[in-house]
Structure 1
Amino acid sequence: MLINALYFINSLLFNFCISFYLISALQWYSYKLNRIVFHYHKPLWHLYFLLCPYLMFLAFPLYSLIYFIILAPILYFWNKSIDKKLIFTSKVKWFFVFVFVYNTLFAILALRFSFLFNLCTLVLALLSLKIYDLFSKIYYKKQAKSKLNRLSNLKIILITASFGKTSIKNFLYELLKDDFKVYKTPRSVNTLMGIVADINNNLNEQTQIYIAEAGARLKGDIDEITRFLEPQICIVGEIGNAHLEYFKSVDNIRQTKLEALNSKRLEKAFLHTSTLKKEDEIITLYDDKISNIDSNLEGLNFEISFKQELHTFKSQILGEFNAQNLCVCILCAHYLGINFESIKKNILNIKSVEHRLQIISKEPKFIIDDGFNGNFKGMSASYHLCKLYQGRKVLVSPGIIEVSKEENIKLAQIINDCFDLAIITANVNAEIFEKELSIKKIILKEKSELVNTLAKETKNGDLILFSNDAPSFM
């Protein structure tokens, strides 16, 4: 009996350790198993936390407690060091329930037949999680769709783009909130099930306008969201090579983003010229209506041409590229009945979206947080903006994630022209920047070193730009 209990405890602790690492990795990559197999940024972690433990278990099944004594502290300190820790959602909790159930079952079978049965625990737990996820999605989607059907007067605005989605969503909300009861998806929620959960949990039945953001990693992702929401207004922002690793070509990205036009209830669409669509009664191309953009560290001025009239707008928002983001919001707000004079007043009061060219402080160090800006065009524009600063300029960045090598090489050339010091915070592009940067550079081995590095290497009067952000698993 004691041996049986010991074997059960051994196998349970072993499986819980493995499961903790695996479900953390899955959560980072949106629970896509193929992504943690083929697109994982720290493959050596698989060796440390999956392969080696399994080999140890196969070699010493009755003594795996010894390995647990070693592995558990390593996992503890590993989890403490990473910045995206496991969130214990109901999905994660069910996964551990499945692990416990199958571990109990296979521990019994292992005593009668072979300890190799225990190796099935994780596989069946993942399969059960997939089945649970499938039925959960059906139930919650049906619940959310029923709620939308009840809100017959609700106007839905769907926003998608390669970059700038969240900024457009937040700017548009600020322009509409005084005239309508408006609700927007929180933070960067942009997947179908994220939107479904938001509708079920947060959408008030008095809402007049619902603004939703749609992201994609595969063809059909935007179409799935579009057919579920059936928005009356769609905004398709600039098309670029964000997530090129998954889509393989910019044309594939473009076709996926244009799935937003598949709505049966589509009344109006505001599109960037990079969509390669032409204007008609429904489609308005917005970025070619902007002119005379003046961007500096104090804000942004620009003009919009509308029905052969020029309208001038001023904003405290930083970044030349934000003129486009603001422009589409202005045109959309005007389409919904708000006059230009009211919009001009509201534009003046809009503040930077959090982590998007957000000024944190001007003294003693000029600190700008642009951590959510992760595309070449936006990042390079922010670098040229920083070049206007008269003092020493410091960049903190991992570079661009999930794009071709050439994009980061081009970015390095701009960094050389605009900054005095570059601190590279992720391994994913370290080799490129080591070779391409000619200015003083510091490439961190661990992101946790950043605070001490900034204290040591920067001084009062410096401008420090935090550009893009990569989690420590990259």
Structure 2
Amino acid sequence: MNKLNIFRIIHYQHYLLQLEEYNLSRFLKVIKITKGIPPKDLRKNINPTLKITLIILLSLLLQLKISIIIALLFYFLIAKELIIFTLIFLVFSFIFSYIHFIFISTIVFILSPLDYFIKERIIASAQKKLKSYPDLKIIGIAGSFGKTTFKEVLFNVLSEKYKVLKTPKNINTPLGISNFILNNLEKDTKIFIVEMGEYYKGDIKNICRITPPDIIVITGINEAHLEKMGSLDTTISTIFEIADNYKKEATVFMNADSKLVVENYEKYTESKKTVFFSSHNNKLSEYESKNVQFDETNLSLSFDLYFGNKLITKITTLVLGEYIIGDIIGTLQIAKLMEISEEEIKKGLAKLKPVNHRLEPIINKNTQVTVIDDSYNGNPDGVEEAIKLLAKFKDKRKIYLTPGLVETGERKEEIHYNIGKRLSVVADIVILIKNSVTPFIAKGLKDNKFPEKNIILFETVKEAHDSLSGILKSKDVILFQNDWPDNYF
């Protein structure tokens, strides 16, 4: 039915354009894979922005116009019959719906100069507004993973003393950040925390052109977005663009647990002050955590924080991933630089809550099933942290549901095989969504003697979720890892 529903086909092709962020080369690549035909179920829908609405209207008008022109040619050259005109119009309208991506691409190409002009005007307006705030401190956060959680910890603590503005959710591109500045930055704002996204070379540099940071945070580097970046070397140099585009006297705070950060930072931070934080007591960090304990009953993590041999404080948090230790240490270091008192730091840390969809625990009181929602985690380091957390549940049956990771490029087989290998000694049941990478997870499980009967495969996420009532038992723990977008297969 999907192949005959021309309205759904046209809608799907516009949806793919938006998912690919209006990048024509990637859009046409995914059209080639899908042939522009929608699957049975879509996870999400078009976000009805002004831009996509305009593209939809203009591409439909273009298709209509071409269909009318062809019908008129038949009418005047073959037979001046209204029935002929109508029939030809309908036939070509139907045919063109399958190749509607051609009309979409044409309109995007035609609109590209105007689109560029509008973007540059918005960015220039944001830059102008920021120049009128000379005392505003900007904290830039870059990295392949961990940016959002670090941002939330930092916001909680700094807000105890200052009025702090942070970029929300997934607003991490030059245009998104510029619009956010124009609509939300107020005169009494003292600190602006900017999460900087990286997908292609130059992305961080372009964001820093708008918001040059006074304080730099690099949370870690791994294979996330490797497909778009092309290589790890490009990923490394792109993330370290933040260290080349900064305000005078900027300090760089870095995650010492990230091997690629430690191996490369000296090349990019020669003249800058560098400070390290660590969740696992790396020697580059001056702070150390001891007595790290997971409370399975109350779903909390506690540890003692030391500076040298001196106990600084005892911390208990509802954020369950051990990466929170490094985030707290990094935040503590920045807070001291910003002259935040110990009392204010403790108050801010006490307000910490799990970030939505990032190792977020949810308990079903009726079934006593514990759900760990990690559906916004899409990188190898995050997966390792999720599996470590699952392993800490000693008295529960452990279930892991995943579609795998996107954009892992040429390393996708190795990465997903290793996920299966790690799960083989932790999980009791692994639920996989069929796609191009989950066979590698299954192979990693089977090669490491995981019972094949405990590997459950589903065609779609919806089918998997609909079947959970027949899989889950009272007091199980199930971890949902990552979300597979509709433009990946």
Task: Structure 1 unaligned segments of length 5 or more: list them.
Answer: 1-12, 50-74
Deviation at 1:205, TM superposition (A): 3.1
Listed as ranges, the matches of 1:44-59 within 5 Å are: 44-45=33-34, 47-49=35-37
Give the counterpart of 1:277 among 265, 287, 290: 265
Aligned to 1:460: 474
Secondary structure at 2:220 match in 1: coil
Q: Which amino acid aligns with 1:188?
A: N
Give the match for residue 116 of structure 2.
Answer: 134
Q: Measure how far apart 1:17 and its partner are.
A: 5.9
Of 453-462 and 369-378, deviating more is 369-378
Match of 1:402 in 2: 407
What residue is the counterpart of 2:23 in the other structure? 32
**Corresponding residue number in structure 2 for 1:319:** 321
Residue 291 in structure 1 maps to residue 310 in structure 2: no
Q: Matched residue of 2:165: which SS? A: strand
Partners of 2:150 and 2:139 in 1: how far apart?
11
CA contact (8 A) 2:420 2:443 kept: no
Q: Secondary structure at the match of 1:260?
A: helix
Equivalent of 1:433 in 441, 461, 466: 441
Q: Select the structure that is richer in helix.
A: 1
* Residue 66 of structure 2: aligned partner: 106
Deviations 1:142-193 (A, max 9, x none): 2222221222222111101110011111111111112111111111211111
Q: Given the alignment of the two structures, is residue 91 of structure 1 paired with residue 51 of structure 2, yes or no?
A: yes
Alignment match, 2:216: 234
CA distance in 2, matches of 1:263, 1:436: 42
Partner of 2:463: 449
Write the distance in 1 (CA, Å) between the matches of 2:217 and 2:58.
Answer: 42
Q: How does 1:111-130 map to 2 (within 5 A)?
A: 111=71, 121-130=103-112
- Alignment of structure 1 residues 81-230 onto 2, 5 Å: 81-107=41-67, 109-111=69-71, 121-230=103-212
Alignment RMSD, CA only?
2.7
| Identical columns (%) | 27
Q: Is the alpha carbon distance of 1:310 and 1:251 closer, same or farther for their aligned partners in structure 2, counting shifts above 3 Å?
A: farther
Q: CA deviation at 1:202?
A: 2.4
Structure 2 regions of 5+ residues with no counterpart? 75-87, 279-283
SS at match of 2:217: strand
Deviations 1:189-214 (A, max 9, x none): 11111111211222233221111111
| Residue 373, structure 1, aligned to residue 377, structure 2 | yes
SS in 2 for 1:427: coil
Moved over 6 A (4+): 114-120
More displaced 10-residue stretch of structure 1: 397-406 or 102-111: 102-111
Contact 1:394 1:419 (C-alpha < 8 Å) held by counterparts: yes
Q: Give the aligned residue type for 1:384.
A: K
Correspondence for 1:391: 396
Distance 1:197 1:234 in 2: 22
Give the structure-2-normalised TM-score. 0.81
1:123-148 deviations in whole A, cap 9, x for unaligned?
43121232332122022112222221
Give 1:471 deviation, angstroms: 2.7
Aligned residues of 1:399 and 1:408 also touching (Cα < 8 A): yes
Paired residues in the alignment total 430
Query: Secondary structure of 2:436's partner?
Result: helix
Structure 2 residue aligned with 1:420, among 405, 412, 428?
428
> Does the Cα contact within 8 Å between 1:192 and 1:225 map onto a contact in 2?
yes
- The 3 A distance-change label for structure 1 pair 36 and 102 is closer
User: Shift of the alpha carbon at 1:48?
Assistant: 5.0
Give 3-state SS (helix, strand or coil) of 2:455's partner.
Answer: strand
Match of 1:330 in 2: 332
Distance in 1 (CA, whole Å) between partners of 2:289 and 2:104 is 59
Shift of 1:268: 1.9
Q: Shift of residue 460 of structure 1?
A: 0.8
Cα distance, 1:295 vs structure 2: 4.4
